[in-house]
Amino acid sequence: MFYIIRNSQQFGPYSLDALVAYVEDGKILQYDKACPEANRQDVHTVGYFLKRNGRKFKIPHKGSLINQIKDIGRELIFPSDVFSRKAIMQDSRLLWLALIGLAPAFLISFFSSIPVITFYVIALYFSVIWGLFFYYFFKTPQINTKTIFTVFFSLQAFVFFAWDVLSLPAIIPGISLMYAWTDSPNILLRMFGYIFGVGLLEETAKALPLLWIIHRSKEPYIPQSMVFYGLISGIAFGVFEGVQYQMGVNIELDYANAFFMNVARLTSLPFLHAIWAGMAGYFIAFANLYPKYRLSLYVLAILIPALLHGLYDTLGWSILGLLLTLLCVILLMSYLKQSVNYQSKLSK
């Protein structure tokens, strides 16, 4: 005799003949759990015990294919409320699933005739994905939707004006020299150029919205709030830069490298820009909370991200470069973990 266990409920006991009959009738599944009446600890599937006792079974088909479909019924295949506006609007999972899964296809369809707009709207799509991800992990009561959109779009407008209209990297003497060094065959000069040219200028640009938030704040921002806004600022810069590369540098690459870089410019590279700007937000928050140390904290807010940014640009997609990206993520999370301890230290 055997007991059947399904959904934490126990039924039976049943004889082996009864189990075979119930399995063939579909009332008991061969994958249901069972145990002998004499040993409740010996739990296996029904199929296991039938096989162990030499009992065979065969589950018959109930009629032909057409008859089975008739018995299944239309509701299982095509529910009557499939196009019900009320049912659709009430199921948030359905809306999110459709939005995330189908948005790229619709965007490409509507904007495919204008490549730059296509690249940008797809970049916006990935920005929303990253934004929701960051919001889930870093949200605080201080996070404001209006500020999020302001940071995101104002930074992109500034970068377009500064980089594309004014050609800022080329008109600042010291910075232009550093940018020139990024093409040097000497790795030390190249690294120096990436850190104090590319890294310093780009990380300063990403920090500007964060300084604006602090300047107009009506309450002290905690480090996690400023880290979040830094992440948004970094994503904004990263996707805008990605569109520029897709319209320029990436076009000149061969198919495989162009595909790789287009994907990277919409996913991992904006993420890295976000991580670096998140670090800036962390130190800017401390500069606002402890103004006695603001000089050093503001310097650290730019210098540390610029250093990591420049080192990554120098190393690229090598093993060392990839390990550095992991270090950046770990470092930011470590900052947040120790923020309470450092607040206690700086308040003394």
| Rounded Cα distance, 197 and 315, in Å | 16
| Rounded Cα distance, 172 and 88, in Å | 55
pTM: 0.75
The β-bridge relationship of strands 33-36 and 2-6 is: antiparallel
Taking residues 255-262, what's their average pLDDT?
Answer: 74
Task: Return mean pLDDT, the chain.
Answer: 86
Say whether 183 sits in a helix, a strand or coil: coil
Q: Phi, psi (5° rounding) for residue 346?
A: -75, -20
Q: Which of 34-43, 58-67, 112-121, 160-169 has the lowest mean pLDDT?
A: 112-121
Report the percentage of the chain scoring pLDDT > 70.
88
Does 133 lie in the same domain as 11? no
Does 223 lie in the same domain as 141? yes
The domain of 21 spans 2-60
Does 113 lie in the same domain as 230? yes
| Rounded Cα distance, 144 and 130, in Å | 17
Q: Which CATH number characterizes residue 27's domain?
A: 3.30.1490
Does 194 lie in the same domain as 114? yes
Taking residues 272-296, what's their average pLDDT?
Answer: 93
Does 130 lie in the same domain as 246? yes
* pLDDT reported for residue 344: 65
pLDDT, one tens digit per residue, over 102-146 is 777 776 677 666 777 777 878 888 888 888 889 988 889 999 999
Confidence of residue 257 (pLDDT cuts 50, 70, 90): confident
Does 240 lie in the same domain as 133? yes
Instruction: List, in order, residues 6 or more apart from 45 with CB less than 8 Å away.
Output: 30, 31, 32, 33, 34
**How many domains is the chain built from?**
2
Does 143 lie in the same domain as 31? no
Does 275 lie in the same domain as 222? yes
| Rounded Cα distance, 274 and 276, in Å | 5
Whether the bond between 60 and the residue before it is cis, its omega within 30 degrees of 0, is: no
* pLDDT reported for residue 197: 95
Beta bridge partners of 6: 9
Nearest to 171 by CA among 183, 179, 182: 179
Residue 66, amino acid: I
Residue 25, amino acid: D
